[in-house]
Amino acid sequence: MSAKRLEQVALATKTAFVFPGQGSQKVGMLAELAEQFSGVGQTFAEASDALGFDLWHIAQSGEGLDQTENTQPVLLTASIALWRLWLDLGGLAPKYLAGHSLGEYSALVAAGSMSLADAVKLVNLRGKLMQNAVPQGEGAMAAILGLADDKVVELCQSVSASGQGSVEAANYNSQGQVVIAGSTASVQQVMALAKEQSAKAIALPVSVPSHCSLMKPAAEKFAEALEQTAIELPTIPVIQNVNAGIATDVAQLRQALTAQLYQSVQWTRTMQSLQDQGIQYIVECGPGIVLSNLAKRLPNIEKAFSIDSKSKMEDALNAVLVAEGKIA
C-alpha cells in the first residue's frame, strides 16, 4: 500500500488500529480470506520473495511456525494482508496505529514508514538475534494476573537481587496483567511468590525471553541493521511501545525500535493514550483476538473488533463507517 494511496482514503476520527505480536499466530490463519481475496496471497508472495522462503506454506502447514525467526515475518505479513484488504474494501484510515511488540513493525509498514520487503527481512533477523542471545531453555516468560503492576516489579527486583539471574516486567498489558521475562529459574521464583499472594501465574510457550535486559546483546547488533534500512516518518501516527509516545523524527523511531528489544512494552499506557485522544473504536489488524479482548475492558472503548475472517471484516467495516458518521 503506497503512502499516496493511503492519502486518498477517508480518515477516521474515533478509530485506532492495533497490530498483534507473537502468540497470535495459528496454523491455517487467513486461509478463508485468501480463498476469497487474491490480495492476501499476493501480499504473502511479495514478503516471501523478499525473504527467499515461503511464508504462506509456514502459516498454513505450521512447519517451523513457532520458531521466532519465522513467526515474526509470518505475523507481520498476515497483518499487512488484512490492512490492505481493509483499505481495498473501502475501510477508513484510522486516526492512530499501535502494535504490540513485533506488531509495532506491522504498524510502521501500514503507515508507510518502511516497505513490507524491508520489514520482513528486519523481523526475520530480529528473531534470529533474539534466539541467539539466550540459549534454548535458559530464558522464560510468564503472565502474572491479579497483582498490581508495582507489586510485580517489586517481586522481580527482590528475586533479581538474590543473584540467581535477572527477571523483569516485560509487557504491561492491562491493569492486573503483567508479563515477566528473564532467566528461567528467576521467572519460576517470581511465579511461585505471586501464587503465594493469590495471583495467577501462567508460563508462556515462548522460546525467547523478550523485552528484558537479556536481549541487550541482540539489540546492539539489531541497531546496525536498522541503520541500513530506509525508514520514513509514518503517515499515520504510531504510538511506540517503549514510551507510549509518538516519534517526531526518524532517529527517534530507530532508537525506540532498538530499545524495544530489551525494554518493557507499555501497552496499558498505549491504550490509555488512545482513549485520551478520543479513540472509542479499536480494530485488531492481525490473526486472533488478544488485543481486541484487552481493549473491550477499557472504560472509554465502545467497541473492539477483530478482522481475521470475512464475516468479522465485514462487521467491522460497517460498524466503523456508521460510528464515524460515513453511512447511516
State phi, psi for 246 to the nearest 5 degrees: -120, 125
211: annotated active-site residue: yes
Q: Please say whether the beta carbons of 154 and 208 come within 8 A.
A: no
Three-state SS for 227?
helix
Q: What's the rounded Cα separation, in Å, for the pair 32 and 87?
A: 18
State phi, psi for 201 to the nearest 5 degrees: -135, 120
- Whether the CA torsion 100, 101, 104, 105 is positive or negative: it is negative
Q: Please say whether the beta carbons of 1 and 112 come within 8 A.
A: yes
Cβ neighbors of 11 (< 8 A, separation 6 or more) are 92, 93, 95
Q: Which of 24, 48, 79, 101 is catalytic?
A: 101
Give the burial string for 15-36 (b: 16+ CB within 10 Å, else e): bbbbbbbbbbbeeebbeebbee
Q: Please say whether the beta carbons of 266 and 244 come within 8 A.
A: yes
C-alpha cell at 150: 508495582
∠240-204-173 over CA atoms, to 5°?
35
Q: Which of 211, 264, 292, 306 is catalytic?
A: 211
Question: How far separated are the first and last CA of the chain, in Å rounded?
Answer: 28
**Closest C-alpha among 207, 218, 210 to residue 241:** 210
Give the burial string for 146-166 (b: 16+ CB within 10 Å, else e): ebebebbbebbeebbeeeebb
C-alpha cell at 68: 521466532
C-alpha cell at 178: 503483567
101: annotated active-site residue: yes
Known catalytic residues are 101, 211
